[in-house]
Structure 1
Amino acid sequence: MTRTLPPGVSDERFEAALQRFRDVVGDKWVLSTADELEAFRDPYPVGAAEANMPSAVVSPESTEQVQDIVRIANEYGIPLSPVSTGKNNGYGGAAPRLSGSVIVKTGERMNRILEVNEKYGYALLEPGVTYFDLYEYLQSHDSGLMLDCPDLGWGSVVGNTLDRGVGYTPYGDHFMWQTGLEVVLPQGDVMRTGMGALPGSDAWQLFPYGFGPFPDGMFTQSNLGIVTKMGIALMQRPPASQSFLITFDKEEDLEQIVDIMLPLRINMAPLQNVPVLRNIFMDAAAVSKRTEWFDGDGPMPAEAIERMKKDLDLGFWNFYGTLYGPPPLIEMYYGMIKEAFGKIPGARFFTHEERDDRGGHVLQDRHKINNGIPSLDELQLLDWVPNGGHIGFSPVSAPDGREAMKQFEMVRARADEYAKDYAAQFIIGLREMHHVCLFIYDTAIPDAREEILQMTKVLVREAAEAGYGEYRTHNALMDDVMATFDWGDGALLKFHEKIKDALDPNGIIAPGKSGVWPQRFRGQNL
């Protein structure tokens, strides 16, 4: 395999930089052979071209070592690609945006839970702490706190928050609940945000804003620094909880579902958590293979869809939520929910105690996740097809029935054209919906990889023309998505570029992340 070097860096210069990195972290913690780097390839590659690869991986054990790595990178002109645990699958995994970058894997050794405060309900973490790690810590210490976790619990709490990922308890907007950062800046200085900038403050994890401009958001989905510590708020574990499933038979029920849902959600009662609305493809893929229902090419026929619904005892749309509090409150809220959604003909209601069959598998998994218990069950989605991988297309919309139906029909039409199954999940915030569309494909087939990339590129453009932007995207689509945020002759990107060039004049940290390129690489179509 041909060695991948950083753009414009000679072998000799690169080897000199690697030796300096080894001097900082030790030989064991610098990887550079082809076999070692294979683990950092995108696990679900898209496109026919060779996927972006790193030139090396460096694993520091402290903030001070991260500072040294960044200073050496500036000296030698080596672009760095920070990752925590590298589990950002569906969005590029651990692979760098710029091929030839050196991955700084902070989560390999910086994996300590520095503090859990029971009184105030927060944790202070290093990047390598996963949702499973934090859960096990809380369990082993008989904590009265619970975490909020995403669909898959193997990822980094810090990494998911910095990518503005979501979970499903009342604390589901992860960045909303972060409480202070420690960041190594692009020239090697270290900064703490909020009250952490005040020496001796005991309020770093209590009041994230501090004094003056609020910089924390500039380190999310960004390339302006390497986060080495982060605080996160933790919810008090409620006295009881009850998860529920509502099934709706018809795809056209979507409009009415969303319109009924909004007033129940916007006041955080009776819908207390971040509920999800999934179509039958999403739920069937969690418990079966595609060939069980249809063994042909092209879109799934109507007969097969009806059989999925019948055999799994589910609807075309399936709504999952969880209620928390004293049992009388749960009973009252559930009654309000049943009364509201019961207006839709054919709506059926189940609690998690009532469904332990195959079709109830997702409900049981949601009950765990919505109670802060990490899971890996959603990985079963990838068994839908051989060598399964997925790419996420995740436009945001208002929580409006017509808008939801418009998005659904737009995506379904394009999926049918490309003969792809469209597994849909609407993640419902207070005033918006993340429409997470999963397209599962055979990663071993080059044509399938290219088709999935081209289809998603088309969807990015179509969605933007209809006024929908993505909240998060794959490495291969970052330039495409940023190009759609072009109000005011691209004022947003120009602003990001000015900040990037001011803080990172040598273009070291994650060039191209979120479509923001430093002047050194700008306009080169890398």
Structure 2
Amino acid sequence: MSFTDEAQSDVPLLSEKHSGIPPFLLEKARKAKVSVFETRTKPKATRNRLPVIPHGIEEQVFVDALGELGKQLGVENVERNDKPLTDGWYMEHPNTHDLMAVVDEEELVPSAMVYPGSTEEVQQVVLWANKYHIPIFPISMGRNLGYGGAAPRVRGSVLVDLGRRMNKILDISAQDYTCLVEPGVSFFALYEAVKEKGYDHLWVDVPDVGGGSIIGNTVDRGVGYTPYGDHWACHSGLEVVLPTGEVIRTGMGALPGNNTWQTFPYGFGPYSDGIFSQSNFGIVTKMGMTLMPNPGGYESFMYTFQKEEDLDQVIEIIRPLRIGNILENVAQLRHVTQSIAVIGRPRSDFYKGDGTIPADVVHSIVSNFPMGDHSWIYYGMSYGPKHIRQYKLDIIDAEFKKVPGARRIDPATLPADEYFWARDRIAAGVPDIQELRWVNWMPNGAHIAFSPVSPIRGADATRLFELARRRHDQFGIDLFPAFCVGLREMHLIVELVYDRADPRKRRDVLDCLRHLVDDAAACGYGEYRTHLVLMDQVAGTYSWNDGALLKFHEKLKDALDPNGIMAPGRCGIWPKQYRGRGWEMTKTSGENTQGDGVAPPSQ
């Protein structure tokens, strides 16, 4: 397919593809696709580093091994990665490489992609990988864009794509408010299934963009924006294929004939689910999840605050309201630069100079927007019957109005395409696709995130904001921060948007991020999630007691995965066959993601 044909092809529907769009979002998805390709200047890639072969495996041995796997899974479910790399976009994302690459796009690529259709076939893949000592890298759907997408950490790994054929919703319990899903079930798909069954009393908590896997998002500890926004806290029981091929079920799922898998997460004995979150200790093939009861009404609200230095006071106001559940959902406090970028227009429409966009330009632009000039904007929602909502909203209004110049924006004054309405839908459990419009800020737009966690304190918010601004100014990168406030902590999500076709821009973004990670750690702030190329550095910041935690993870890895085949390097956890061979990516490693080989099986 040519670049023009790709840009003009229609967006797949859920009825056509497991990763498709619901019909109610089709027109919005079409417009989003047009805007993505309007800013794309990057030519289609040619392959300069073929063939891609797993480390330590001879090519003919690998070819024969793939042929053997094809006989087990069906030849149509085993595919070599030897064609040009097609970037696609969010709704038609690749599983051949990282769509939003921050290093050379041929660095983090699999040698092949395989598509198991059941837990038994996942077992077959794992046993095959152990037989030939071939590294595998499982994904649910590969839409973890900004954190590596579908790319494996070790070049030449075989990608195990669970989404294409393992995409069934196995159960939705209208009585228990739970569901049981496979890895290829997106938030789009679960929402549509709930609606099709007429379960209006059930809500699905959804993240910013609804096309990702429920399992993938949850095991990576992603968040949504209703009171059920902590997805990992809302899961209940896993089915897991271990690196040696055994299958276990955790929690109540381990009890034969149980009827509480999705309702009680703990079962009996040690709680083992945690080791399968952000790890390379197994492949999750089924997961129970709780659903939110319809609260009987909801009302979104939005406040603007005029000065950047208001941040301290605003966060101090938010903390007791959030802990006391007056502010009920995982809401967002966003910086004014995002108010501009989220409309989806390129930066060059507003400013063509070098360096970061000046503050006076930002405020001049946003003063003409429906919400008016501001420095911070808070998106929240109140739930329940009207009289209950009003009680809480009055408290919130009185508290926020203590900040001089604070304004509550009347939603009736906002046009239908205003970003506020996307946040309104998401906080009501309705998936959307509007969020990533800010990636169009740069040609060939890509993003990568700085994601530290802190207490809900004004001093911490200010320190992190100033830390991020200092490094962004140093590297000439526009600053897009948003504070996502949980019950007793907050995530600062800073999206660094860059032109992925420009090696210098990629290098600047990666250098900026590496400084930010170390700067934050020096102040006591750790990342909760990160891109593949930063995992070693981030894991290294959790270094208390001479790195005791990482050593513990390595002991678990060696016990559960003696052949080191399962996603080596994920979250900084390397099997013994890779340790001491330079695989870790640090400030000094540059863009080289590869180490000095792998120890042979006899070692």
TM-score interval, normalised by the smaller of the two chains = over 0.9
Task: Indicate which of 348, 361, 378 corresponds to 2:407.
Answer: 348
- Give the % identical residues: 47
Q: Do 2:180 and 2:286's aligned partners in 1 also have CA atoms closer than 8 Å?
A: yes
**Contact preservation (8 Å) 2:129, 2:136:** yes
CA apart distance, 1:302: 2.2
Task: State the 1:267 CA deviation.
Answer: 1.9
The TM-score, its normalising length taken from structure 2, stands at 0.85
**Do 1:42 and 1:94's aligned partners in 2 also have CA atoms closer than 8 Å?**
yes
Call closer, same or farther: CA 1:362–1:49 in 2, change over 3 Å.
Answer: closer
1:204-225, CA deviations, whole angstroms, 9 ceiling, x for partnerless residues?
1111101111111111110000
The letter of the residue matching 1:77 is H
- The equivalent of 1:5 in structure 2 is 53
Aligned 8 A contact 1:243 1:351 in 2:
no
1:287-311 deviation line (CA, Å, top 9, x unaligned):
0331232111111112211113301
| Residues 54 and 96, structure 1, Cα contact 8 Å, conserved in 2 | yes
Equivalent runs, 1:355-434 vs 2, <5 Å:
355-356=414-415, 361-434=418-491
Q: Tell me the SS of whatever aligns to 1:518.
A: coil
Identify the match of residue 157 of structure 2 among 101, 125, 131. Answer: 101
2:138 is aligned with 1:82: yes
Alignment of 1:395-474 (within 5 A): 395-474=452-531
The question of whether the paired residues in 2 share the 8 Å contact of 1:80 and 1:508 is answered with yes
Identify which range, 176-185 or 286-295, moves more after superposition: 286-295
Q: 1:210 to 1:200 in 2, by over 3 A?
A: same
Q: Which amino acid aligns with 2:306?
A: D
Name which of 311, 317, 328 aligns with 2:376.
Answer: 317
Which of residues 79, 85, 92 is equivalent to 1:31?
Answer: 79
Residue 64 of structure 2 corresponds to 16
Shift of the alpha carbon at 1:354? 4.0
Separation of aligned partners in 2, 1:474 and 1:138 = 32
| Equivalent position amino acid for 1:262 in 2 | R
More moved, 62-71 vs 6-15: 6-15
Shift of 1:177: 0.2
Alignment of 1:300-311 (within 5 A): 300-311=357-368
Match of 1:182 among 230, 235, 239: 239
User: Does the CA-based 8 Å contact 2:363-2:373 persist in structure 1?
Assistant: no
| Residue 314 to residue 320, structure 1, CA distance change in 2 (3 Å) | farther
Structure 2 residue corresponding to 1:525, chosen from 582, 600, 603: 582
Whether contact under 8 Å (1:166, 1:172) holds in the other structure is: yes
Deviation at 1:114, TM superposition (A): 0.3
Map of 2:27 onto structure 1: none
CA RMSD of aligned residues (A): 1.2
**Given that residues 130 and 155 in structure 1 are in contact (C-alpha distance below 8 angstroms), is that contact kept between their aligned partners in structure 2?**
yes
- Please say if residues 363 and 374 of structure 2, whose CA atoms lie closer than 8 Å, have aligned partners that are also in contact: no
The separation in 1 between residues aligned to 2:516 and 2:380, in whole angstroms, is: 29
Q: Is the 8 A contact 1:271 1:323 kept in 2?
A: yes
Unpaired runs of 5+ residues, structure 1, are: none
The alpha carbon displacement at 1:284 in A equals 1.1
Looking at structure 1, the residues matched to 365 and 487 of structure 2 have their Cα atoms a distance apart, in angstroms, of 31
Q: Distance in 1 between matches of 2:533 and 2:579?
A: 16
Residue 12 of structure 1 aligns with an amino acid whose one-letter code is Q
Which stretches in structure 2 are left out of the alignment for 5+ residues?
A: 1-46, 87-93, 584-603
User: 3-state SS of the aligned residue for 1:124?
Assistant: strand
Q: Which amino acid aligns with 2:115?
A: S
| Per-residue deviation, 1:239 | 1.2
Calculate the TM-score normalised by the size of structure 1: 0.98
**Kept after mapping to 2: 8 A contact 1:352/1:367:** no
Question: Counterpart in 1 of 2:593?
Answer: none
